[in-house]
Structure 1
Amino acid sequence: MSDKGRTLLAQHGHAQNRKAPGMSWVPWIMINGVRDQEAERHLVRVLCSRYLKPVPSQCAMYGFEPTEEI
């Protein structure tokens, strides 16, 4: 790894520690600044059920009724 690569990796690690102190594995998903453990296991389901409004057609394969305009 280059010196620049090491520097960027270290900067990312420091920023990550400020946002999520105690983070011990990935994925460590935070939505709106809050860790969401359910999203760590079922990200698409969480997005389709809570955050994607209108619900896009891609969510249908996870059992959600699309509400987007065609």
Structure 2
Amino acid sequence: MILDPVLNMLPGFKSFQVPAHTGTCPTASFSVFGNTYTVSEHCVLLEQYRTPITGAFSLMFLLASVFIVLMA
């Protein structure tokens, strides 16, 4: 097959897997006048609108890449 050298160029990448990770949303706590406040509403907001945000940024990067290619 003509593409064998290209397809078998990096055989180690065929078994590559992205490692699983867990993340937590950073929250801030501060004390003012004897009361402690925790800022965590941004975590709830970002998680609630994760899909539209992902779509919007994907579209933005797609348009940016199309403009770069067309301007070349």
Larger Cα-atom Rg: 2
Name the structure where strand makes up a greater proportion of residues. Answer: 2
Q: TM-score normalized by structure 2?
A: 0.30
Q: TM-score normalized by structure 1?
A: 0.31
